[in-house]
Amino acid sequence: MDRMKAMIEQQIHQMDVMLEGNPTHYYHGIFSVYALYAPGVNADSDNVPYLEKRLNEVTNLKSLLQRDASYWEGLVSKYFTKDQIIVIGNPNAKLVDELAEKEEKRVKAQVERLGTEGLKKCGEALQKAVAKNEVC
């Protein structure tokens, strides 16, 4: 129970940080998902309860902090221990070889298409992107 509480509190903290730092990005995501995927939303109708639930995510998370251990045990039982389906996959060695060969041809064709200068430019762009993403 302590672990669930810590995870929910961490999520609330992350939401607070995101809303302080970049609320536009957060709300844009909510409204985009609402417009595209909310049930019952089209040019002629809205689904206000759905939108309210999404806009009040911190309140929803705080309500989860009030749930007791039996609630979480019920979820685990329902979704992880009852009525399981197990899918066992076996790798296909022939397909692995085909995919490797196809990828090798694709890379070779791209190297030929880009040439030395193109590869150099792409390498520099990659280094800049990696450096930008490593800033934390």
- 80 three-class SS: helix
Contact 40, 47 (CB under 8 A): yes
Asked if pLDDT for residue 135 goes beyond 80, the answer is no
* pLDDT on residue 125: 93
Contact 41, 47 (CB under 8 A): yes
Residue labelled with tokens 């957060």:
26
Contact 65, 10 (CB under 8 A): no
Domain boundaries, the chain: 2-81, 91-136
HSE of 68, CA atoms in CB hemisphere, 13 A: 1
- 45 three-class SS: strand
Asked if pLDDT for residue 27 goes beyond 80, the answer is yes
pLDDT confidence band for 91 (50 / 70 / 90): confident
